[in-house]
Amino acid sequence: MKRILLFLMILSVNVYAQTQEVQLKSNDWYVYKVVLNNQTYFPLNNVENQNIVNLNFTQGNNELNMNLLFCSEIGRTKDLMFIGPNEFTYDTMVYFGTGCSIPDNYEFNNYYWQYWIYDSVNHYQYEINDVDGTTKELIVTKISNGNKAYFYSTYLSSPSYVLEKVKIYPNPVKSILNIELPAADYQNVLIGIYDITGKKIKSFKENWQENISLNIENLPTGNYLLELKLPNEPGRGHFVKIIKE
């Protein structure tokens, strides 16, 4: 009986791993944060990186390739190998492209490639979770240092919150930050402010009737991320970098 139970457990693990591998290779993945040395970094949602596939897998000549992209910088692995349940490694990565043209994207672009940089171990574990029945979340962990990259299988960001439809001013700001949104969103929007480590330090939820004014005079001088999000939307909201003077 014990042998049968052990066999069924092993079979269940193998089926689960095979299902996860199929999902990993068959989806396009959109990065929504990376965690390096316990510090969290978010990509900004702007015209240069909206709806851009940041990770996917393609079959090459007798080999599986992992393709990475942020802005217009591309990385492609050679000899990707699955070495255990939910684990993979690769031998080399080739980089090409010109990087980001919008200065606000430079920082996350650097962190994204820093996460994937080759080291002597170069061993990754991954898990895929269901978000809402249609969207999957992929979490990839680098074994050598515990750093993580997080992805969704669909681009989860409010379509109304493209930069052209949101006005945030002044920026840099000393005390009062003004936000103008599409009219229908004022009563629903969730607002958060994050420091450079990815920690949420302020959140706002009110039934605003018109333009929003946030008093951030007490925040220390520095760089922050402002998040705008509708309450029923999964995933990340719309992030904008703000500078507190």
pLDDT digits (tens, 9 = 90+) for 132-183: 778 889 999 999 999 999 999 887 654 434 445 678 889 899 999 998 876 6
Residue 4 pLDDT more than 80? no
pLDDT value, residue 174: 92
Query: Cβ of 61: how many Cβ atoms within 10 Å?
Result: 5
| Length of the chain measured in residues | 245
Determine phi and psi for 128, rounding to 5 degrees. Answer: -120, 125
Region 203-212 average pLDDT: 74
pTM for the model? 0.69
Nearest to 90 by CA among 75, 102, 80: 80
Position 234 scores a pLDDT of 55
Can you tell me the distance from the alpha carbon of 69 to that of 49, in angstroms, rounded to the nearest whole number? 10
Query: What are the domain boundaries of the chain?
Result: 20-152, 161-244
CA 106 and chain centroid, separation: 15
- Between 3.55.50.30, 3.40.640.10, 3.40.50.1820, 2.40.128.270, what CATH number should domain 20-152 receive? 2.40.128.270
What pLDDT score was predicted for residue 6? 47
The pLDDT confidence band at residue 14, using thresholds 50, 70 and 90, is: low
Exposed / middle / buried, residue 49 (Cβ in 10 Å: 0-12, 13-18, 19+): buried
For residue 1, what pLDDT is reported?
54
**% of the chain surpassing 70 pLDDT:** 81
CA–CA dist 98, 154 (Å, integer): 25
What are the angstrom distances between the C-alpha of 29 and each of 55, 68, 101, 146, 196? 5, 10, 22, 20, 24
Q: For residue 184, what pLDDT band results from cuts at 50, 70 and 90?
A: low
Please give the pLDDT value at position 41: 84
Quote the pLDDT of residue 87.
93
Question: Distance between CA 113 and CA 185 in Å, rounded?
Answer: 35
CB 242 within 8 A of CB 173: yes
Identical topology for domains 20-152 and 161-244: no
Going by the DSSP 8-state scheme, the letter that residue 29 receives in this structure is B
**Protein fold of 161-244:** Immunoglobulin-like (2.60.40)
Cα dihedral sign for 34, 36, 41, 46?
negative
Counting residues of the chain whose pLDDT is more than 90, the rounded percentage is 23
The pLDDT tens digits of the residues spanning 57-112 come to: 888 777 788 999 998 888 888 778 888 889 999 888 888 888 888 887 888 889 99
- Across the beta sheet with 222-229, the strand order is 200-204, 190-194, 222-229, 238-244
